[in-house]
Structure 1
Amino acid sequence: MPSGTEFASLDRVNLVSTGLSGTNLERGSSHNLRVTLQAIRLNAPITKVELAEITGLTPPSMTNITRKLLADGLIVETGRRRGERGQPAVELAINANGAFSVGINIDRDHITMVALDFLGRVRARVAEEIAFAMPEQVIDFFTRNLAAIRASGEVDMDRIAGIGVAIPDDFGRVDMPLRPSDFGIWETFDLRQLFAAHDLDVFIENDASAAAIGELQFGHGRAAQTFFYVLISAGLGGGLVIDGHQVRGASGRSGEIGFLPLGKARRKPINLQDVVSLSGLFGHLAAAGFPDVGLGGLGKLKGAMAEAALAWSEKAADLLCEPILVINAAIDPEAIFIGGRLPAKLVDSLCGRLAVNIRHRGASLPARAPVLRAALAEDAAAMGAAILPFSSRFLPSRTALMKIEA
Structure 2
Amino acid sequence: MRGTNHEDTRRFNLAAVFETVRKSGSISRVEIASRTGLRNQTITNITRELIESGLLIEAGKIKGKRGQPQTILEVNNPNACSIGIQIDKGIMTARLVDIQLNTLASYRGEMMSLEPAYIVDEIAKVINQLSTRITETQTFWGTGVAVATLINNEAPDDLLSPGWGIWKNFNLIAELSKQISTPIYLENDATAAAIGSRFSGLGNMLNNFAYLYIGNGIGAGLIVNGQPYKGAWNNAGEIGRIQWPNKGEIEYLEKLLSLSGLSRVLECPESELLMADFIEQQITLSSPQFTGWLDEAALRLKFIVNILENMLEPESIIIGSTLPNALLHKLLEHAEPLPTSICALTNRQHPRVMIAPQSNNIIATGAAAIPMYATCNPKLINLFNSTHSTPPLLA
Q: Deviation string for 1:94-146 (max 9, x for gaps)?
A: 11122211111112242211111112222222223547533344345434433
2:91 equivalent in structure 1: 110
Q: Does the CA-based 8 Å contact 1:111-1:138 persist in structure 2?
A: no
- SS at 1:238 equivalent: strand
The one-letter amino acid paired with 1:189 is: F
Match of 1:34 among 15, 25, 31: 15
Q: Does the CA-based 8 Å contact 2:310-2:341 persist in structure 1?
A: no
- Change over 3 Å in CA distance of 1:246–1:276 after alignment to 2: same
- Change over 3 Å in CA distance of 1:228–1:141 after alignment to 2: same
2:313 equivalent in structure 1: 332
Q: Does the CA-based 8 Å contact 2:150-2:188 persist in structure 1?
A: no
- 1:374 is displaced (CA, Å) by 2.1
- SS at 1:315 equivalent: helix
1:204-243 paired onto structure 2 within 5 Å? 204-243=186-225
Number of aligned residues: 369
RMSD: 3.2
Q: Does the CA-based 8 Å contact 2:79-2:138 persist in structure 1?
A: no
1:300 equivalent in structure 2: 277
- 1:38 is displaced (CA, Å) by 0.9
- Change over 3 Å in CA distance of 1:374–1:236 after alignment to 2: same
2:332 equivalent in structure 1: 351
Matched, 1:95 2:73: no
Greater CA drift, 295-304 or 41-50: 295-304
- SS at 1:386 equivalent: helix
Q: What CA distance in whole angstroms lies between the structure 1 residues aligned with 2:149 and 2:99?
A: 28
Once the two structures are aligned, what percentage of the paired residues are identical?
28
Q: What CA distance in whole angstroms lies between the structure 2 residues aligned with 1:175 and 1:384?
A: 24
- Change over 3 Å in CA distance of 1:378–1:316 after alignment to 2: farther
- Change over 3 Å in CA distance of 1:303–1:164 after alignment to 2: closer
Matched, 1:168 2:148: yes
Q: Does the CA-based 8 Å contact 2:84-2:364 persist in structure 1?
A: yes
- SS at 1:50 equivalent: helix
1:251-266 paired onto structure 2 within 5 Å? 251-263=233-245
Q: What CA distance in whole angstroms lies between the structure 1 residues aligned with 2:36 and 2:72?
A: 16
Structure 2 spans left out of the alignment, 5+ residues: 383-388, 390-395
- 1:392 is displaced (CA, Å) by 2.2
1:68 equivalent in structure 2: 49
- SS at 1:294 equivalent: helix
Q: What CA distance in whole angstroms lies between the structure 1 residues aligned with 2:371 and 2:342?
A: 42
Q: Does the CA-based 8 Å contact 2:243-2:253 persist in structure 1?
A: yes
Q: What CA distance in whole angstroms lies between the structure 2 residues aligned with 1:345 and 1:300?
A: 10
Q: What CA distance in whole angstroms lies between the structure 1 residues aligned with 2:103 and 2:22?
A: 16
The one-letter amino acid paired with 2:184 is: V
- How does the TM-score come out when normalised to structure 2? 0.82
Q: Deviation string for 1:50-69 (max 9, x for gaps)?
A: 11111111111110000000
The one-letter amino acid paired with 1:44 is: G
Structure 1 spans left out of the alignment, 5+ residues: 1-20
Q: Deviation string for 1:258-301 (max 9, x for gaps)?
A: 011112667x7311010111111111111xxxx33524653321
1:45 equivalent in structure 2: 26
1:381 equivalent in structure 2: 363
Q: What CA distance in whole angstroms lies between the structure 1 residues aligned with 2:209 and 2:61?
A: 37
